[in-house]
Amino acid sequence: MNHDDSNEIDYSMLKSRLGYKLRRAQMVYFDVFAEACAREGITPGLFGILAIVYHNPGLTQSAVSNALDVDRSAMVAAIDKLEGMEVIERRKSKHDRRSYALYLTPKGKTFTERLNQKVEAGEEAFTTFMEEGEREQLLETLDRIIQARRGS
């Protein structure tokens, strides 16, 4: 029986690597998300789409992919799936016959609201180890990282 957590490993080359720590932390929150709503058949990526379309109805696929900073080719299968779940729909744009305007179905709206509550609750149940205001500070720093990309 080895004493488990003190696993005697020297992490010194990774100890200060933000890339590594962010990846590990994200894996943790991926689990938090999955625990909250994997049963619903929704992944973090799909939730992001629902969250954007919920508050921005009528956006094109390209606009959503731009908002989430993923390639527009990744939208196709994602929207196909959400459309198959009958929570989103593509309507032909009248101004631009190339593109679709995305809307949540009534079912999709309540679905997204329920999902949002579950995700919020799941994350909130996972803040017991954080100091007062630490979460807000973390969000702010992460936002600065995300915004800083062009500047580098």
- In this chain, which of 38, 41, 56, 110 binds a copy of itself, going by CB under 8 A? 56
Residue 122 interacts with DNA (CB under 7 A): yes or no: no
Binding partner of residue 124 among a copy of itself, DNA, none, CB under 5 to 8 Å per kind? none
Contact pick of 40, 90, 103, 116 for DNA (by CB under 7 A): 90
Q: Token pair of 112, please? A: 């997204």
Is residue 42 within 8 A of residue 33, CB to CB? The reply is: no
**Short-list 125, 120, 139, 103, CA closest to 37:** 120
Query: Smaller CB distance to DNA: residue 41 or 136?
Result: 41
CA distances from 35 to 39, 85, 113, 136, 145 (A): 8, 20, 17, 23, 27
Q: Which stretch binds DNA (CB under 7 A): 42-50, 109-117, 121-129, 144-152?
A: 42-50
